[in-house]
Amino acid sequence: NTKTMTYLHFFLFIAEHLCPKSRPKRDLLNEFDKHTTNMVRPTTDGDVKILFDMFLEKYPRTYSSSSDEYNERFEIFKTNYQVVQHLNEIERGTAVYGITKFMDMSEEEYHRTLAPGFTRPLVPIQTLNSAELDTTNIPDSMDWRKHGAVTEVKNQGSCGSCWAFSTTGNVEGQWFLKHKKLISLSEQELVDCDTLDSGCGGGLPSNAYKSIEKLGGLEPEKDYPYVGEGEKCAIKQSDFKVFVNNSVALPKDEVKLAAWLAQNGPISIGINANLMQFYWGGISHPWKIFCNPKSLDHGVLIVGYGTGGWFILLLKNGTPFWIIKNSWGPDWGEEVYY
C-alpha cells in the first residue's frame, strides 16, 4: 500500500538570493541579519573580535571569555571569516556565505559533527532496481512544499544521522502522495533500530529502506521522539503508522531526476557538504574542487526545482536550481533550505 521509495547518490545545490555588496563597517550588527545580502569586511582583529563577541551573544557557548578555549575559538572564527570572504569572491552562482552558528568550528570538527561520512565501511546491502521514467511534459518548476508533502525542517544536532532524516523525509512525502496525510516520522527509530547502518556514525538511505521493511514500519515522531544519540531500540509495532515495501535507484541525469521528482515526490540524495558550513542563501555553484562527488558525506532531501525566481531580472534566462531540505534546524540556510 505504499509508493516506491527513492534514493540516489548525487550532489546538487539550490535557492535564490542576490550577490554581496560592500557596506560601511558601522553596520557590523547587520552581519547577523540572515536576510541581508551585504557582507562586512573588517580590516582589523578588533573588528573581527567585535563580530565574534556578537556571534557568542546570538549563539551562546559554554566557554567563558577568560578561558583558553575562547581564544582558540576566536582563532578558528578569524580563519573561517577569511574563508567566508574568499568563498564570496570566487562563487560562480548567486550564493552568499556568511557567519553561521558553525562559525567557531574547525573544518575537521564540522565534518566530524555534522557530515561525518561513515565511521565504518558501508555498502548498499541490496542492489536497487532502476526506476522507470517518463521525461515528457516536465513542468518548468515544482515545489512539493506548496503541495503539503514536506514536514518542517528538523535538527539532527551533533549526531551524524543525516541519512535517517533524508530517509524519513522521502518516506513522509511518498506516504502523503499515496494517502493524502502528512506524518512526521521517527528518525530516532532508525538511529536506534537500523542494524544495517551506524546510527550517529553514518548510514545509507538504501540500507535504511531495507531496515524499515525488516522492522515492519516507522513510528511517528511524536511516539518515538528524536534525542540526538543512539539508544536501545524501543520500537512498538502497534505504533507503526507508515510502511515501506520497495525502493529504486535514479539516474544522475538531471532532466530524468526532475521528471521523477515532478511525478513522484521528494527524493533522498547524498551530497558533499563542504560549503554548507557558511551558507546563507542563493544558488550555490562552487568550483568543482569544493564539491567532489566522490566525497559524499551528507544526506538531504530534494523537494523541488526551478529555473529562476525573483532574481530572474539579474540573470539572463534564469539559473536552474534544486531546492534541498537540510536537517540543521530552523536557524540555518535560506529560510532553512539549501
Does the structure show a pLDDT above 70 at 41? no
Per the annotation, the verdict on 264 as an active-site residue is no
Chain centroid to Cα 255, Å, comes to: 22
Catalytic, 162? Answer yes
5-17+112-325 topology per CATH: Cathepsin B; Chain A (3.90.70)
Query: Which of the following is catalytic: 9, 17, 111, 298?
Result: 298
Cell of 180: 493524502
Catalytic residue among 88, 272, 274, 326: 326
Question: What does the domain layout of the chain look like in residue ranges?
Answer: 5-17+112-325, 25-90
Closest CA to 8 of 324, 229, 300, 237: 300
Tens of pLDDT, residue by residue over 118-140, are: 544 444 445 444 556 666 778 88
> pTM of the full predicted structure?
0.81
Over the chain, what is the mean pLDDT? Answer: 79
Q: What is the residue type of 314?
A: L
Give the active site residue among 162, 193, 200, 291: 162
d(CA 201, CA 92): 33
271/291 Cα distance (integer angstroms): 8
Q: Cell numbers at residue 201, please?
A: 556514525
Summarize pLDDT for 97-108 with one digit per residue, the tens. Answer: 999 999 999 999
Ramachandran sector of residue 216 (left: φ over 0; alpha: ψ -120 to 50; beta: rest): left
Q: Which three cell numbers stand for residue 32?
A: 547577523
Angle between helices 205-215 and 162-179 (to 10 degrees): 60
Helix (H) or strand (E) holding 70: helix 68-90
Pair 329, 162: CB distance under 8 Å: no
Any catalytic annotation for residue 19?
Answer: no
The amino acid sitting at 194 is: D
